[in-house]
């Protein structure tokens, strides 16, 4: 049932890094979830009415994996939910990553920042099965890493950057990418992470002529298109040869996104 609210059983909910948890949900329609989509989690606490959107990290055999950071009251409450208990979820939502667009490219690079890393795992698996491209993950963290082994298992190459230099490259993902030997003719980028990172990456990819899809985040209200709390501004894709000054439109991240092409997003609004 698309975007309908259903009950899912929590199979596990455990810490995988400081303030980062991995939740496995038994969810019968898991196979319908596509990379880059998210689910709305309806919390049990009566004072926390709005759903919390969390990206699908992986989906298989009637189970969904979510990886979430504890940042406020809602995610703090989620961290205490016990395995075996029931959760109301609205899933799967939004337009995820377009996998077929990367067909014909020699190498695909997935660039993740912090809690933006999880949805790229399901994408990596889809790219491996649905394209012939070699898949490279470039993952950035402040300090402690998570999911790195899962990416190593399914990607051809996994590079880690940490801001404090505790693992891998000392710096951010963009600095790491610039150090790497890029192959602009054959590369395709997908990314999810903080807005500043996505903005800088979009400029970088645009300058190199590399196609880029980004998963955007915004504070959400309803989570299903009704309240317009989650607007971003989008213009025409410059790759389609349309004039840059073509009229812009407001898009709702929850239903029109969360994934957009980097060169259609108006970053400085």
Could you list the residues that contact ligand FES (CB under 6 A)? 220-223, 225-230, 252, 254
Distance from C-alpha of 147 to C-alpha of 150, rounded to nearest angstrom: 5
Residue 191 touching ligand FAD (CB under 6 A) = no
258 contacts which partner out of ligand FAD, ligand FES, none, CB within 5 to 8 A by kind?
A: ligand FAD
Distance from C-alpha of 104 to C-alpha of 133, rounded to nearest angstrom: 7
Considering only the stretches 10-18, 100-108, 181-189, 212-220, report the one whose residues sit in contact with ligand FAD under the rule CB under 6 A: 212-220
Task: Name which of 122 and 155 has its Cβ closer to ligand FAD.
Answer: 122
Pairing of the two strands 20-26 and 259-261: unpaired
Choice from 150, 187, 217, 256 touching ligand FAD (CB under 6 A):
217
Choice from 46, 61, 219, 244 touching ligand FAD (CB under 6 A):
219
Residues 118-137 that bind ligand FAD (CB under 6 A): 118
Residue 92 touching ligand FAD (CB under 6 A) = no
Sign of dihedral through CA atoms 76, 36, 107, 237?
Answer: negative
CB-CB contact of 264 with 235 (8 Å): yes
Choice from 33, 35, 58, 68 touching ligand FAD (CB under 6 A):
68
CB-CB contact of 165 with 190 (8 Å): no
Q: Which tokens go with 51?
A: 């759903």
53 contacts which partner out of ligand FES, ligand FAD, none, CB within 5 to 8 A by kind?
A: ligand FAD
Q: What angle do CA 38, 149, 141 make, to 5 degrees?
A: 65
Residue 2 touching ligand FAD (CB under 6 A) = no
Cis preceding-peptide flag for 108 (omega within 30 of 0): no
CB-CB contact of 96 with 13 (8 Å): no
Q: From 22, 104, 88, 15, select the one nearest 55 (Cα to Cα).
A: 22
Supply the minimum distance, in Å, between the C-beta of residue 72 and ligand FAD.
2
Letters for 147-186 (x = contact with ligand FAD by CB under 6 A, - = none) are ----------------------------------------
Residue 73 touching ligand FAD (CB under 6 A) = yes
Distance from C-alpha of 201 to C-alpha of 189, rounded to nearest angstrom: 9
Binding site for ligand FAD (CB under 6 A): 38, 50, 52-55, 67-69, 71-75, 115, 118, 217-220, 258
């Amino acid at each position: 049932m698309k975007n309908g609210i259903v009950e899912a059983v929590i199979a596990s909910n455990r810490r995988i890094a400081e303030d980062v948890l991995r939740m496995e949900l038994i969810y019968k329609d898991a196979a319908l979830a596509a990379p880059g989509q998210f689910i709305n989690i309806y919390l049990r606490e009566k004072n926390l009415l709005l759903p919390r959107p969390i990206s699908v990290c992986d989906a298989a055999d009637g189970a969904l994996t979510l990886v979430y950071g504890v940042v406020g009251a809602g995610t703090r409450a989620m961290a205490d939910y016990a395995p075996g208990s029931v959760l109301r979820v609205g899933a799967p939502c939004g337009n995820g990553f377009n996998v077929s667009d990367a067909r014909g490219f020699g190498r695909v690079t997935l660039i993740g920042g912090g809690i933006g890393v999880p949805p790229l795992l399901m994408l990596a698996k889809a790219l491996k099965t649905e394209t012939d491209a070699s898949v490279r993950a470039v993952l950035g963290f402040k300090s402690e890493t998570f999911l790195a082994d899962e990416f190593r298992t399914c990607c051809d190459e996994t590079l880690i950057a940490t801001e404090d230099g505790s693992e891998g490259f000392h710096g951010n993902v963009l600095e790491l990418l610039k150090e790497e030997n890029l192959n602009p003719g054959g590369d395709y980028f997908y990314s999810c992470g903080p807005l500043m990172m996505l903005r800088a990456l979009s400029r970088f990819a645009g300058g190199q002529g590399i196609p880029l899809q980004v998963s955007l985040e915004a504070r959400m209200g309803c989570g299903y298109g009704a309240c317009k709390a989650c607007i971003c501004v989008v213009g025409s894709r410059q790759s389609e040869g349309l004039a840059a000054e073509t009229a812009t439109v407001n898009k709702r991240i929850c239903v029109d996104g969360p994934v957009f092409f980097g060169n259609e997003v108006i970053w400085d609004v």
